Amino acid sequence: MQIPSKIPVHVSFIMDGNGRWAQQRGKERVYGHFEGVESVRAIMEASVEWGIRYASFFAFSEENWDRPEAEVMTLMELMMKSMKKEYKTFMDNGIRLLVLGNRSRLSDKLNATIDEMQELTSSNSVLTMIIFLSYSGKWDIQQAALRMAAEGGDDIGRYLVTAGIPDPDLLIRTSGEERISNFMLWQLAYTEFVFTKTLWPDFRKEEFRLALEEYASRDRRFGKVK
Ligand code: FPP
């Protein structure tokens, strides 16, 4: 497979279409999420291979808490199991794991696993994999504003949960939806968006490479004249 001609520093994903993928096959929605984890692994491996430094995934929004309880429980279980299961992949490939979002809504057990995995992978530096969990962009700006006011600060970027992480160069959303859905509202100000009709469980290395080629063809001016 060809190497993409331009490699962004930070690529972000809105992984959409798991439910539809499962329903098309006459299966329960959760099967789509199980298969979706395989896509996350494929993207993670390709990111390491191509020298991408940050890969971030919108795994669960603040709004997703309103889904049926069984689906929420399954997703949380899946998150916990996947993190533990991928431990060797993280260590073998130099991947640092970060989980960002409203951690106060997660169970003690999940929070403990997250703390442990973040600690164990903290000195890995090839790729930073970010999982946004119980995250919404409005929540992030709100919590940042409150902390900034309390400290009398003036740079909101330093108070967002993504402080210290470069803003995404590219955002990819799968499944044909073309919305931001309350993801990183502040951080995506100058990000290039690529929308693809592919459902997330079918989004693997070749689809990723095509999205990177689309990104390579864009002319980024950051509001300036070139
Ligand atoms: C969107 O599809 C997908 C989600 C809300 C969940 C995504 C989470 C995972 C794939 C697990 C990730 C795990 C790790 C460790 C990163 P949807 O259910 O909204 O699909 P639909 O629009 O077809 O209903």
Q: What share of the chain is helix, strand, coil (3-state, %, to 5)?
A: 45, 15, 35
Residue 135 near residue 105, CB atoms below 8 Å? no
Distance in Å, CA 154 to ligand 1 centroid: 35
Sheet with 54-61, edge to edge strand ranges: 95-100, 127-135, 54-61, 10-14, 170-173, 192-195
170-204 b/e (C-beta count within 10 Å ≥ 16 → b): bbbbbbeeeeeebbbeebbeebbbbbbebbbbbbb
**pLDDT digits (tens), the chain, 226 positions:** 788 889 999 999 999 999 999 999 999 999 999 999 999 999 999 999 999 999 999 999 999 999 999 999 999 999 999 999 999 999 999 999 999 999 999 999 999 999 999 999 999 999 999 999 999 999 999 999 999 999 999 999 999 999 999 999 999 999 999 999 999 999 999 999 999 999 999 999 999 999 999 999 998 888 888 7
Its pTM stands at 0.96
The first and second tokens of residue 8, run together, are 């962004």
Which pLDDT belongs to residue 221?
A: 85
102 catalytic? Reply is no
Mutate to test the pocket of ligand 1, among 13, 28, 33 (most ligand atoms within 8 A of CB): 33
**Residues in the ligand 1 pocket, defined by CB under 6 Å:** 15-20, 29, 33, 36-37, 40, 57, 59, 64, 75, 78-79, 82-83, 131, 175
Which pLDDT belongs to residue 220?
A: 80
- Collapsing DSSP to helix, strand or coil, 223 comes out as coil
18 catalytic? Reply is no
Which pLDDT belongs to residue 210?
A: 97
